[in-house]
Structure 1
Amino acid sequence: MSQPADEHDVDDYVPDTTPVTVEQFRAEAEEMLAKNGGNPESLGILLRHSIHPFGYERAFDYMRTCADLTGESLTADGVWERGAQGELWLAKARAVRAAQQSSSTQDSAS
């Protein structure tokens, strides 16, 4: 007699690789700020978890949202320093953005 499949079998696990939309991120960020008394430091954790490992292409949109919600400004290259300072994901996010910009420049030149 065969055993029923374990619903939590590691071999069957397929991670959700879809990054959250900017709208979903904003809603989560607003909720987090409300829960934490408006403390912008709490957004750094949300930012990290939304970007790594599947949200690099939206990192700068997420940072813009954080700056908007906290009233803080972005650096000249679009970085929200409070949430990105010292983060390992920032270099990869910059590389992804550069590749996207290079690709769109090549597409428009064609």
Structure 2
Amino acid sequence: IFVNKEISELIYGLINAAKIIKPGGIIVVVTFHSLEDKIVKFFFKSLSEKKSISRYMPKINEKDNLFKLTNKKPIVPTNEEIKKNLPSRSAKLRFAIKDKNILNFEKEILEKFNYLLETENLSEKI
């Protein structure tokens, strides 16, 4: 994952895809690794929900949402699919529908996963 720079490709790919598609467009991502899924889940969730300091406090209505999520949980292969195609057992499909155009949304994403991007760059120095 780190040698092939798959993490940065995924993060910047999601950011650029979100900038390119028009409202109503859908971003669909299939992940095969828990780290990839964590990134995609955070990306979609953080850009589709209102923020809250605590789950007991009301949501803060300070920003517009870039995406609309119809499924919060990933779509996973059925038992029948796994029997036919064993490697599919780790696959998770997530999707989000772009709600509106918003500029400069990537800062939170890059800050959250900066440690992964830095780790990925360490492999170049070794």
- Relative to the length of structure 1, the TM-score reads 0.36
Q: Name the structure with the higher strand share.
A: 2
Structure with higher Rg: it is 1
